[in-house]
Structure 1
């Protein structure tokens, strides 16, 4: 993988995590057993997951963003405010090895902030986010994919909808036109222009997102036939590879050349916090894709299997970025 570069476009948020026995009912107040602040945001989480997914855990506390020959370099593109959270979010990425030249600091603006409520018994979480500076991000150069990777041409652009949809669609179009592979995780799910799909090498989304973007009721996506039908809609729109993540049921995948199947989730997992599981999936799927691309092969089932394993490691710890595993923790 010498020289491989991944550019990530998406949100950066400070996660304020409350642990409680259960979610409060409407009009009810309840106490939290703990409160923690953790750097997060789907874009930032994915950048760290991609970086760690190609490396063993370092023996020193901090990394320098370059790594050894054969590792993937990861560039984060997004925006933070000129507040304390903004400094913390950017510094954390730098300490974790992600290159931050694509992060813009927006004056007189708050950084993205997300309140996460985690049920201590099940580990399930619910989030509400204030996007703040994320919605003011624009690339430094409108029609350049190189500007997303410090002036170099990336091998893959990963995008989330934590920044404005119009900017994401423009980035994906620019990357595709430049011959750069793309991966979209449409979260939070909002309407996309149909022409966007033809610019996607990979579309990775959960059941709720798949239902919304394919015009279905989420209750309908509960069996193999329904998953196949929804994925086929996206392939007909021009997507090359589609993955629907299914939580405890694993993931369903299909490709435009006929590969399809289900990968089961890891078994006997002690779920602590599901925050960041989807981002970990995306980052490790991307890492495996880059590895195979350098070898001239593509077995999507292998990528989905590794991504499921990585996500299973994530949900056994509290917090998003703190819980993202390194390669040796996934493959060991």
Structure 2
């Protein structure tokens, strides 16, 4: 089984149900509050492991109750957590997520210990990169760490799957070393300064050296730009309850599919079913499906 290393954030998500997303200056009454394990790094690690991947996680937690609960969740989902370090000075990262009756959300994150995932921590766990095949990384950790990991993976011939969330400027050198970038529409616009339509912006990233640009478009599916041109893929019909972690589930599904030798079309279908199941349930990690659930849809379309 090919090995996947995930480098990224681990958060406790405080999910607040609201009738609608508040406007600036507006006060609304919440319908309820729940705690869920989250953080894009942890979400993608758990999702990939549940889908059958051989996954190791590099991340950082505070020495607190949230941290203990989150590392337990990773372990119970089969993720190797030997490279998840405990920080005695910074608290576990926390995300505050408002979810509307329509399933829309917005998110405010206090990074906490995630901000201390640095080059030295990566170096302490270099052994994980010696026989890895894929590396999934996001942008909820310092950008210099992100770029260091991308450079390291280039040296070791590891395929990097970058989910640029939240979107930040990234060096041209790092872009040239990416096997795949998976932004959503908003992230794509930020990365390209909103300089054109979706196709032109995705082509711009491809021209910068990204081997494959796969833009997720929610209910409209996704769009792939690479050496074969532009191709769009539909999304399977799932009723949205909470869109939190849908992108994480898609990234994980795409990586696991490719690691198993699926071609892009099959991997995209596999990832789309994983994301579809995710949006039909509440919470981040709680909504991430296992392989059996995804295969119940995916195998029927083969």
2:77 is aligned to 96
Q: How many angstroms does 1:299 deviate by?
A: 2.4
Aligned positions of 1:200-279 closer than 5 A: 200-216=178-194, 220=196, 226-256=197-227, 258=228, 260-267=230-237, 269-279=238-248
Hey, what's the Cα distance between the residues in 2 that align with 1:22 and 1:211? 25
1:123 to 91, 99, 103: 103
Q: How many angstroms does 1:88 deviate by?
A: 1.1
Name structure 2 gaps, 5 residues minimum.
297-302
Q: How many angstroms does 1:214 deviate by?
A: 1.6
Hey, what's the Cα distance between the residues in 2 that align with 1:244 and 1:251? 5
2:24 is aligned to 26
1:163 is aligned to 141
TM-score if structure 2 supplies the norm length?
0.93
2:290 is aligned to 326
2:275 is aligned to 311
Flag the 1:145–1:302 CA change in 2: closer, same or farther, 3 A.
farther
1:152-186 deviation per Cα after TM superposition (whole angstroms, max 9, x unaligned): 42111110011100001001101111111111111
Hey, what's the Cα distance between the residues in 2 that align with 1:199 and 1:25? 40
TM-score if structure 1 supplies the norm length?
0.85
Hey, what's the Cα distance between the residues in 1 that align with 2:122 and 2:99? 39
The answer as to whether partners of 1:245 and 1:252 remain within 8 angstroms in 2 is yes
2:170 is aligned to 192
Aligned positions of 1:50-199 closer than 5 A: 50-54=48-52, 72-120=53-101, 122-140=102-120, 146-147=126-127, 149=128, 152-199=130-177
**Paired residue secondary structure (1:157):** strand
1:46 to 44, 65, 71: 44
Aligned length: 296
1:23-42 deviation per Cα after TM superposition (whole angstroms, max 9, x unaligned): 23333322111110001000
2:263 to 274, 299, 314: 299
2:257 is aligned to 288
Q: How many angstroms does 1:49 deviate by?
A: 1.0
1:64 is aligned to none
The answer as to whether partners of 1:48 and 1:321 remain within 8 angstroms in 2 is yes
Hey, what's the Cα distance between the residues in 2 that align with 1:198 and 1:115? 34
**Paired residue secondary structure (2:167):** coil
The answer as to whether partners of 1:8 and 1:46 remain within 8 angstroms in 2 is yes
Name structure 1 gaps, 5 residues minimum.
55-71, 221-225, 293-297
